[in-house]
Amino acid sequence: MEQKVMVWGKPYTVSLYQKSKSVWTATGDYNGERITVTSRSPGSATKLWRDAARYRGNIGPCQAGSPSHEEGTAYLPLRGKHGRPPRSLA
């Protein structure tokens, strides 16, 4: 079953299918990224998909030139929770 979903004013198509009696899966592409969510009803699966897409759309593009946001670079904090380096860097 196909469902139209509006995210930030743009329409997207989400595919819904029933995996079992009370398990529904919604799958669709949002800005080139595949999003799949599972819920107990088709309506709630559609809502969860929309919420996941909104979250991804809210992240925004990375700041150009920032060393922590270069492609392929993971950000690691220099100080951990208690002011010490994280264990992975110690």
Instruction: Quick: pLDDT tens for 44-53.
Output: 999 999 999 9
Ranges of the chain with pLDDT below 70: 59-90
Confidence (pLDDT) at 63: 40
Confidence (pLDDT) at 87: 59
Confidence (pLDDT) at 86: 54
65 contacts: CB under 8 Å, gap ≥ 6: none
Beta strands per DSSP E along 8-50: 10-20, 23-30, 33-39
Confidence (pLDDT) at 80: 55
Task: Give the predicted TM-score (pTM) of the model.
Answer: 0.64
* Domain segments of the chain as ranges: 2-59
- State how far the Cα of 51 lies from the Cα of 28, in Å rounded to an integer: 13
